[in-house]
């Protein structure tokens, strides 16, 4: 809006004073230092050192990836935009005001940017599906494939990357996202935009969130601040100490419950040991040592007998199913060997060898006489063919016999493997069971298949039956042994472990409670220290937005832990504490939302070098609009700040305050045809149009006589408004509303001149004009004369523009009024 240069970022900038979130080790160091000087007893101090996390996967200092800025936003068939339209944005830090009336399509650009990068539209979240389905697609462009995209500038090199979301179906979820470089190669979205950073330091503030983000407990904002500030270490530490206290409480509770249950059971038993155990469990503190001595008082002989009975009760003999299967396979293999003429393999190979020798002799001698008996023509061709067939048969027979023999050996070994020796603990006994088991083990020495199958099958059945009888008898004797006391003894043995754990838990709980009592205020203190720069920045933004408000925003603090926390706002009205939401106007609530959004979105860990804010001006009075312009200008010094608004007051405030900004005007024609144009300096735009008209030799005379003076007059009046606004603001301290009211009363060029040069539109300004630009008053009179001052030639027209340019520069160059009223 003006030629005023940006001020380079310094430490006075709110975001410049914010330290990046420290790495977890820094917090750990702070905690260890404070723990060392805590004055805690050694036990709770040691417990805290034990539980303090060594590392935490949290975002540390610096940005989360390369810096990302916006080059342009494009939409087609989307919301209020029909044919493809691109909103080109100036690169680098700076303020961009995207203006346009309601329904022009400007908010569609803001939603397009958010949807392209995040895949969601905050405005429609929580709305009914039918509303969204009716509203997301442009109604005037049913044949256009809906699409939204942003062209990004990524990293120090400013690599151009386009993120495009295209819909292939009728539902809002039927879309795909494509990310590509300028050369068309694809990238993954997470390589360009860190999804966690997009969630934590979200650079989008739609109008719908201006009201909704400050309702409730602000849990999402609380959790985002927690991660941005690296406070997860504190939450994890507190949770671990709390878990220790809870685990100790549970261990003590379990011990007390089991003690009470056992006391009821022991009291019901008529047994001296039960009565002694009940005494050990009674009283304020049970006596585990006494219970252990009671359980260990059984005689060694009895213990040996019990051990023996338990072994017998779990005794397992051969598995009859496995033995039966192995024996069956052995018998089948033996039968196959018999059928294959078991033992004939060597004979078959020998006979085959003899025949092969005779065939070899016939081949070498080329004769047919038998070399053995001398018979003539006995080894003819027919004999040779029969001999070869016999050789093949004999060798096949030999292979089959060998395979049958091998199958028998394998099956025999399988039966032998099932035969297990007498258990070690049984070997010294002389019982029927040992005798039966030895008969079973002797099966390993039998090699004849049929004998092995019969002996193994019979011995296994006998041994299995003997083991079963022994098991049943031993189980019965165990059940009879101390039938009433033994179950109680077993439960007392279980109780010993629980009671010892409860005793340990009581001591540990005492130390853990002291540790947590010390830790909680330390965590709150460190958390507040980390949050303090954010709180100061929020307060600074609030003061600029609500300078004249009676509502004051004090401290901003975090309470609770992620998932269960809230942001607490200290709000007062005329120094009286009050609930924020009940005392603030809608404009103040929006200002509060901005005060909380901006520190989060501009945190040093954010990779986003841009902010997109939609319609923040609504419900704001003129003072808040001016405050908003100042706030946006502050953040635009090191970020690209894009603000969408239908309210002309923001652009007026930007111009009124002399803030450098790019103003883009969005217009919408029939059938959702949206256009975007840059709003230039009003003075220079009028002069540029006047020059173009003056240089046109074919311009009709009546057009030149009417249009050209009007353009020159518009340039002079625009220059006067610029100067008048500056002087009324700087010299008289008037606000935007008062200035615009004063300017709005001007009705003639001479009143514009008088207000700009004399500060009073009612005075005569001829002398002041002549001082700054001799001949200027005659020019102003010529403007008012209009068509009565003909401009017959191009030179006359060019001269009018030249004189107008000189007058404009003189007006814009005035600084302070002289005593005589002129400058």
Task: Summarize pLDDT for 463-481 with one digit per residue, the tens.
Answer: 999 999 998 888 887 776 6
Q: Which residues of 294-328 are buried (b: 16+ CB within 10 A; e: fewer)?
A: beeeeeeeeeeebeebeebbebebbeeeebeebbe
User: Tell me, what DSSP letter sits at residue 52?
Assistant: S
From 479, 502, 536, the end of a domain falls on: 479
- Spatial neighbors of 328 by CB under 8 A, at least 6 apart, are none
Residue located via tokens 């001829």: 766
Strands 640-645 vs 610-614: parallel, antiparallel or unpaired: parallel
Rounded CA-CA distance 621/615 in Å is: 14
Alpha helices in 288-368 (DSSP H): 288-295, 300-313, 320-339, 345-365
Q: Which domain holds residue 734?
A: 680-812
285 is a domain residue:
no
| Domains contained in the chain, number | 2
Successive 10-residue mean pLDDT values, the chain, 823 residues: 36 38 58 86 90 59 71 92 92 89 88 90 62 70 90 89 91 89 91 85 81 58 70 82 92 91 87 81 86 71 68 87 90 79 60 71 71 68 75 70 81 89 83 90 90 91 91 80 75 88 91 90 83 85 79 71 70 65 72 83 87 86 84 92 90 82 88 84 84 84 82 90 84 77 87 91 91 92 66 84 93 59 34
Strands 68-76 vs 186-187: parallel, antiparallel or unpaired: unpaired
pLDDT at 816: 47
389 is a domain residue:
yes
Which residues, in sequence order, are bridge partners of residue 177?
A: 165
pLDDT at 146: 92
pLDDT at 332: 87
pLDDT at 167: 92
3-state helix, strand, coil in the chain (%, to 5): 60, 10, 30
Q: Rounded to 5 degrees, what angle do the CA atoms 599, 601, 603 make?
A: 65
Q: Residue 188: what are its φ and ψ, rounded to 5°?
A: -85, 145
386 is a domain residue:
yes
From 441, 463, 479, the end of a domain falls on: 479
699 is a domain residue:
yes
529 is a domain residue:
no
228 is a domain residue:
no
745 is a domain residue:
yes
Q: Please tell me whether residue 646 adopts helix, strand or coil conformation.
A: coil
376 is a domain residue:
yes
Q: Are 736 and 622 in contact (CB under 8 A)?
A: yes
């Amino acid at each position: 809006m003006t030629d005023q240069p940006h001020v380079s970022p310094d430490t006075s900038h709110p975001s410049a004073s914010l330290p990046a979130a420290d790495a977890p080790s820094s917090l750990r160091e702070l905690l260890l230092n404070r723990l060392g000087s805590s004055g805690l007893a050694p036990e709770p101090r040691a417990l805290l050192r034990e539980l303090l996390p060594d590392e935490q996967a949290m975002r540390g200092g610096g940005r989360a990836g390369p810096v990302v800025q916006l080059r342009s936003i494009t939409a087609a068939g989307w919301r209020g935009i029909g044919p493809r339209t691109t909103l080109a944005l100036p690169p680098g830090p700076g303020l961009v005001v995207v203006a346009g009336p309601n329904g022009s399509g400007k908010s569609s650009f803001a939603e397009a940017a958010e949807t392209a990068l995040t895949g969601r539209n905050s405005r429609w979240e929580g709305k009914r599906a039918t509303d969204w389905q009716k509203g997301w697609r442009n109604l005037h462009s049913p044949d256009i494939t809906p699409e939204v995209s942003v062209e990004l500038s990524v990293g120090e090199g400013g690599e151009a990357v386009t993120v495009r979301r295209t819909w292939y179906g009728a539902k809002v979820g039927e879309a795909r996202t494509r990310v590509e470089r300028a050369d068309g190669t694809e990238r993954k979205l997470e390589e360009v935009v860190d999804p966690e950073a997009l969630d934590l330091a979200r650079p989008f503030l739609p109008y719908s969130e201006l009201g909704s983000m400050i309702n409730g407990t602000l849990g999402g904002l609380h959790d985002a601040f927690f991660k941005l500030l690296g406070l997860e270490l504190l939450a994890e530490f507190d949770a671990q100490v709390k878990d220790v206290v809870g685990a100790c409480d549970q261990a003590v509770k379990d011990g007390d419950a089991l003690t009470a249950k056992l006391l009821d059971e022991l009291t019901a038993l008529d047994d001296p040991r039960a009565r002694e155990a009940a005494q050990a469990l009674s009283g304020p503190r049970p006596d585990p040592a006494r219970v252990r001595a009671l359980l260990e008082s059984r005689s060694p002989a009895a213990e040996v007998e019990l051990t023996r009975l338990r072994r017998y009760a779990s005794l397992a003999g051969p598995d009859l199913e496995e033995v039966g299967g192995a024996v069956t396979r052995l018998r089948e293999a033996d039968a196959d060997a018999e059928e294959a003429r078991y033992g004939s393999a060597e004979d078959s190979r020998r006979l085959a060898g003899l025949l092969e020798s005779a065939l070899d002799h016939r081949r070498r001698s080329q004769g047919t006489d038998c070399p053995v008996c001398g018979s003539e023509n006995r080894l003819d061709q027919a004999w040779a063919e029969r001999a070869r067939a016999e050789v093949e048969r004999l060798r096949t027979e030999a292979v089959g016999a060998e395979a049958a023999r091998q199958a028998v050996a394998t099956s025999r070994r399988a039966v032998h493997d099932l035969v297990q020796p007498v258990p070690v603990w049984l070997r010294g006994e002389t019982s029927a069971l040992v005798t039966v088991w030895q008969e079973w083990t002797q099966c390993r020495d039998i090699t004849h298949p049929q004998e092995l199958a019969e002996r193994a099958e019979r011995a296994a059945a006998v041994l299995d039956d003997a083991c079963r009888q022994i098991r049943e008898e031993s189980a019965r004797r165990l059940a009879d042994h101390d039938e009433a006391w033994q179950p109680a003894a077993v439960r007392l043995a279980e109780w010993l472990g629980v009671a010892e754990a409860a005793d340990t838990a009581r001591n540990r709980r005492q130390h853990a409670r002291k540790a947590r009592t010390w830790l909680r205020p330390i965590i709150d203190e460190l958390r507040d220290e980390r949050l303090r720069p954010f709180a100061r920045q929020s307060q600074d933004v609030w003061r600029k937005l609500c300078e004249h408000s009676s509502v004051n925003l004090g401290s901003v603090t975090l309470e609770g832990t992620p998932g269960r926390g809230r942001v607490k706002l200290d709000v007062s009205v005329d120094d009286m504490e009050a609930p924020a939401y009940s005392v603030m106007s809608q404009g103040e609530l929006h200002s509060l939302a901005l005060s909380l959004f901006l520190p989060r979105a501009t945190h040093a860990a954010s990779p986003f070098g841009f902010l997109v804010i939609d319609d923040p001006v609504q419900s704001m009075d003129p003072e808040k609009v001016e405050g908003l312009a100042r706030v946006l200008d502050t953040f635009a010094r090191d970020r690209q700040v894009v603000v969408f608004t239908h309210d002309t007051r923001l652009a007026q405030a930007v111009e009124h305050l002399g803030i450098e900004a790019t103003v883009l005007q969005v217009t919408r024609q029939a059938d959702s045809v949206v256009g975007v144009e840059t709003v230039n300096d009003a003075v220079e735009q009028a002069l540029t149009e006047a020059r173009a008209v003056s240089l046109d030799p074919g311009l009709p005379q009546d057009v030149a006589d009417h249009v050209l003076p009007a353009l020159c007059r518009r340039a002079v009046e625009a220059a006067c408004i610029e100067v008048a606004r500056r002087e009324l603001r700087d010299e008289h301290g008037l606000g935007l509303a008062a200035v615009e009211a004063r300017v709005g009363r001007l009705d003639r060029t001479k009143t514009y001149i008088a207000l700009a040069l004399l500060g009073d539109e009612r005075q005569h300004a001829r002398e002041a004009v002549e001082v700054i630009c001799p001949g200027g008053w005659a020019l102003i009179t010529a403007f008012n004369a209009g068509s009565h001052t003909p401009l017959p030639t191009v030179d006359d027209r060019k001269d009018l523009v030249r004189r107008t340019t000189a007058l404009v520069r003189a007006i814009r160059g005035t600084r302070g009024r002289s005593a005589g009223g002129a400058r």
